[in-house]
Structure 1
Amino acid sequence: MRKTAVFKSVLSDDDSLDRACKSIPEEACRHSARNYKANLMNGAASKLAEQTAGPNLVIPWLLQAIGAPLWILGFAMPLKQTFSLLPQMITAGYIRTLSIRKTVWTVSGFIQALCLLLMIPSAMYFTPAKAGVSVLFLLIVFSTASGAASVAFQDVLGKTVDKGQRGRLLSARAFAGGILTIAAGLVISRLKGGSLTTLYMLLVFGAVLWIISSLFFQSIKEYPGSVKGGRNAVKETAAGFALFRKYKGFRQYMYARIMLNIIEIAVPFYAFYASELLGTSKAGLGLFMTAIGVSQVISSPFWGRAADETSRTVMIQSAVISVAAAAVAVVCYFLTSQLAVYAGLLASFVLIGLAEAGVRLGRKTYLVDATPAENKATFTAFSNSMVGVITLFAGLLGFLAEKTGAAGIIAVIGAISILAVFAAALMPEADDMLKE
């Protein structure tokens, strides 16, 4: 009975112990339950969109299917991560001038939908190299919009959902998205017809999901906030560096975040590795997508509550799981039975999905809980932008794959994950990050 109550509270925010809001205004507290549900539905749709038409699995699969050069595949996820993070110093300064900030997320969602739709004619009518470059360009626009949405999301989350419930909400979003991703993966694994046709269908489906998620986010009841302190990109960057120098805890968070970022861009490289060992097929795409969905469902019930207690520990545990994922994947290289290889790869996808979900939820909850409302956008944008600059170098992994194969990349991911374990362990707890 207790487990049922906990499960229900994760999805609905129905927890009598959390009725009194501690960190949001009383007027926002009155709409807390409604905002929780709208945010949850937005997350379910956007999480499914990320898996069914995202840069972590489906877009690299599309690039492989059209015969794009390997270096283009290697840059897909790093470019996505870089351009979703780097421009945030510009967007954060602008967002600070808006009293209502949910519209930024809404417009960004529509832009992402349009980019996915434009990838279809690019893949259909251009040569493989030109199509690959076109898809990368659209991915850059897609990611820039995603970055603006990320800053707005953190700010709206801090204004509309009380501290102590945010990790639970983020986990509920991942849980709902995971359930839908499992269903979508199973359907895709049984689809008949050409793989390109299947991929085009997924892009259309993803675009529709981004539109739906935008409408849900727009329905959140957000009260006007302060518009003081709006800065241009140069002043915003200077303010970010000032915070970086001032707080040792923030610097330690940044060092850990840089190491942990390899986990967030790892899935496409696992997909490359799987295609090397098994060959590209739409059945494989569907089953690996299902594995990612399973990992989200498995992790969501405990990642959220764990992050509300100590998001630092969530980040440490996620890095350990990433090390295990790399170890399992490397073992697959030496197996002779294709069935054993398939089972091992599915296990590694579940593990890396668990690690990715934990890193994302842990770092977001950590920074939202650690930072004051007046500087939340600056902390978020600065940390994301700095990580974005460094992530661009991860595109070189595509050239590494041409020399060593995808197995070499998996080994590198595992090694960096080991460093991430130690970096996260050196961080203070979120409540202590801003102690000078």
Structure 2
Amino acid sequence: MKAVFKKLFYLLHSKEENSKENLPTNYFLILLSNTATKLGDTLSNPKTVLTWVMSFVNAPVYLISLIVPIRESGSMLPQIFLASVVKKKKQRKYVYVFGAVLQFVSVLAMGCITLFFKDSFAGWLLIIALIVFSFSRSLCSISSKDVLGKTIPKNIRGKLKGYIVSIAGILVLLAGLFMLYKSKTDANVYFYSVVLFVASSMWLLAAILFATIKEPNSKKSENKESFKEVLQRINLLRKDAHFRHFIIARSLLLCSALTAPFYILLTQKHIGKDLYLLGLFIVANGIAAILSAPFWGKLADLSSKNVMASAVSIASVLGILIFMLIYFYPMIAKEFYIYPIAFFILGIAHSGVRLGRKTYIVNMAEGNKRTDYVAVSNTIIGVILLITGGISALVSIISVEGVLLVLSIFGLFGAFASYKLKNVEA
């Protein structure tokens, strides 16, 4: 298998010169494990699948509105405290493995809850499982970037991420087509449970693959963590102007993530909640990833900050355009094809935003400093997500279209802030 990985690696990167013996094997183990988790993410996506599942079990609307803020912010908030745990490990891949196993258990629990419970009780149980999932995700997030930085050279990280998203996109496309096929018959509780069971298995597979990565030992931090030291880590925002500017830009980039549920809400409001619509959204997202990820990946290796700026510009212009179409031509809102097309374009944009900002922060620093950057960045973004997500959920009761417009305008500021960042690939 090692020889196969080596041949495939040099087929993809024939011009790359690198003497690291384990590079090809690590490259494909990271590719396969990340592809598995991305498929699992899609099959349990809070913006699409979990929303449908919560509606199916008759969970209250106020619980459904909490899904995205909890899932997104819950995975980020603990990271500033978890950074010290990661920095004390020489082999940081095992932090990822533990987090992946916990995600497997929590999503498996979601499938069981969907199968056996209903109404408010089912909704609360799903929220609890989602909280566990989000915490587990934070372990994987903070450790995976460190392992990536230690095992994969800077000049091919963007391409690797692009291949991951593209391959996962093909699998997502197949999953969406299967859901379109199932929409011809009545999808019942067993169907949704099986979807979540398959999603959970992806994290178990990822844990197994990631555990076999040949990771060089990290410099182990012997310092005992105190609350004062946590505050000192936050103090990076004051001392490090480059990092502070990245945080500002990343905060404004949230438009591409936060607007996604509102395209779903607009669809449900004007078209309905049929399963075929869920299938269309998943297919649109899969095709977007397949087409755009390799392109964004190659560009990110040249300039990840330009990828961030370009991608969020697409998301912002799209949101403003959809608002204007619905506001000035309300009959268009009844045309079902508008929403999958918009979601496809948003998928292209969001793929670029995610790939660009992940590549940027990995390339900003090395070693324990990278771990601190990731931890502080994700914790602050988690707080911002929780606040803006909660406000957006409340305001959407008044006007879904209005929230879409405001978030899109903020995205334009994010494009400008991203463009003004330093080029860390230079």
The TM-score with structure 2 as length reference comes to 0.92
Q: 2:250 aligns with which of 257, 260, 264?
A: 257
1:420 paired to 2:411:
no
User: Is 1:130–2:159 an aligned residue pair?
Assistant: no
Which one of 197, 201, 218 corresponds to residue 225 of structure 1? 218
- The aligned residue for residue 354 of structure 1 is 348
Paired residue type of 2:16: D
1:374: Cα distance to partner? 3.0
Report the alpha carbon displacement of residue 207 of structure 1 after superposing the two structures with TM: 0.7
Comparing 216-225 with 248-257, greater Cα deviation is found at: 216-225
* 1:370-385 paired onto structure 2 within 5 Å: 370-385=364-379
Contact 1:266 1:413 in 2 (8 A): yes
Give the deviation of 1:299 after TM superposition. Answer: 1.0
Q: Using the TM superposition, give the Cα deviation of residue 337 of structure 1 relative to its aligned residue in structure 2, in angstroms.
A: 6.0
Cross-structure match for 2:74: 83
Query: More displaced, 117-126 or 356-365?
Result: 117-126
Kept after mapping to 2: 8 A contact 1:253/1:427: yes
In 2, distance between residues paired with 1:227 and 1:285?
A: 46
Aligned to 2:54: 63
Alignment check: 8 A CA contact 2:114 2:193 kept: no
**Which segments of 5 or more consecutive residues in structure 2 lack a partner in the other structure?**
1-6
2:416 is paired with a residue whose SS is: helix
Moved more, 310-319 or 342-351: 342-351
Measure, in 1, the Cα distance between the counterparts of 2:9 and 2:137.
25
Deviation at 1:126, TM superposition (A): 4.2
Q: Determine whether 1:307 maps to 2:303.
A: no
Asked if 1:395 corresponds to 2:393, the answer is: no
Mapped partners of 1:360, 1:251: distance in 2: 18
| Conserved 8 A contact 2:87-2:368 | no
Distance 1:353 1:390, change over 3 A: same
CA contact (8 A) 1:329 1:345 kept: no
Q: For 1:410, give the aligned amino acid.
A: L
CA distance in 2, matches of 1:78, 1:202: 22
The residue aligned with 2:311 is: 318
**Paired letter, 2:407:** I
Match of 1:24 in 2: none
Indicate the residue corresponding to 2:4 in structure 1: none
- 2:18 match: 20
- Report if aligned partners of 1:57, 1:268 keep a CA contact under 8 Å in 2: yes
Which of these residues, 122, 138, 149, is aligned with residue 140 of structure 2? Answer: 149
State how far apart, in whole Å, the 2-side matches of 1:11 and 1:329 are.
42
1:276 lines up with 2:274 in the alignment = no
CA distance in 1, matches of 2:336, 2:157: 37
C-alpha distance after superposition, 1:336-379 (max 9, x if no partner):
367x7222111111111112111111111101111122311011
Indicate conservation of the 8 Å contact 1:369/1:431, yes or no: yes
Is 1:368 aligned to residue 362 of structure 2?
yes
SS at 1:68's partner residue?
Answer: coil
- Aligned-residue Cα RMSD (Å) equals 2.2
Q: TM-score, normalised by structure 1?
A: 0.89
Q: CA deviation at 1:420?
A: 1.4
CA-to-partner distance for each residue in 1:126-177, whole Å, 9 max, x for gaps? 4522322221221111011101101110000011001111111111110110
CA–CA separation in structure 2 for the residues paired with 1:13 and 1:168: 13
Partner residue in 1 for 2:241:
248
For residues 233 and 169 of structure 1, do their structure 2 counterparts lie closer, same or farther at Cα, with a shift above 3 Å needed? farther
Overall identity of the aligned pairs, in %: 27
1:108 to 2:108 alignment:
no
Question: Counterparts of 1:386 and 1:114 in 2: how far apart (Å)?
Answer: 27
| Residue 197 (structure 1) aligns with | 190
State the distance in 1 between where 2:73 and 2:10 align.
34
